Amino acid sequence: MENNKNNVGVLLANLGTPEAPTAKAVSTFLSEFLHDQRVVDMTRWLWCPLLHGIILPVRSPKVAKLYQSVWMDEGSPLMVHSKRQQVALEKVLGIPVEIGMTYGAPSLASAVSQLQERGCDKILVLPLYPQYSRTTTAAVFDKLAKSLKDQPVIPEFRFVNHYYSEASYIDALAQSIESHWELNGKPDMLVCSYHGIPKRYADNGDPYREHCHETTERLIARLDADVKIKTTFQSRFGREEWLQPYTDKTLEKLPSEGVKRLDVISPAFSADCLETLEEIAEQCHESFIEAGGEEFRFIPCLNDSPAHIDMMRQLVERHTQAW
């Protein structure tokens, strides 16, 4: 891929983040995110008044305070780690790499424009969601297609659907866990906490639940360790049932079941963000200790670790063959 003779570029896609840890910026971001029918499929005339009349005014100031607790000097954690991933991947590939967010900035459309300006007419879209879901991977596809509908000429695209079963992804997770154990010792249990989706979505055909469980099973086989490993689901929203078991409820019960030393990793997140740094590393930590736990350790996301970047490199090189 030296000198990019084939005019190939890579678009790294992720969910997005508010541009600032303020109620206004959070409201703007959540409004775009929660308007997406891939995320919330409620009838619009019911959902929109609820969203704008109650949810955004109430939640935005609260969520802004949570962002303030994890905000980095360079900005939002998700954006900081995404930029580091971009730089590292471009260095090892030797071709243009840009980041685009489904919601907020930089947009998917702006990423495509940047790649075109850099001479790319063939673009591999790599959504950084290991496990496929209509709420994430499919939302990237929808947003990208919508952004291009008025362009007379569009680039040639390829799209990575998922990579939950890739050996290099499982190995990157395992290396992260093993390094953590070498420094801190093994826990009584390792919880793999995945972002949840409404159970109804899974019942209607979204394969996300199966992808998450297979990720855990492959990780168990790869680690081959005498540590109990459990799958849970976090970040539920609203009143309907989401995928279970719930992470927070599980962690509150574990101390009474003899689990005193706990490690938690979030394999569905490719970069640390509010849901890992605040929800897991802070809220769940506090809940576990209050319930009688003695040690709680959060294992960071893969971020721009060498093993993670190498996994991306392998994916890109395979999916761009014959281009």
Asked whether the CA dihedral 252, 256, 260, 262 is positive or negative, the reply is negative
HEC string for 69-100: HHCECCECHHHHHHHHHHHHHHHHHCCCEEEE
- Which of 288, 213, 271 shows the shortest CA–CA distance to 13? 271
**Does the annotation list 195 as a binding residue?**
yes
**Does the annotation list 52 as a binding residue?**
no
* Burial bucket for residue 203 (CB in 10 Å: 0-12, 13-18, 19+): exposed
- The radius of gyration computed from the CA coordinates of the chain, to the nearest angstrom, equals 20
Q: How many residues does the chain have?
A: 323
| Binding site feature residues for Fe(2+) | 195, 275
Please enumerate, by residue number, every residue annotated as part of a binding site. Answer: 195, 275
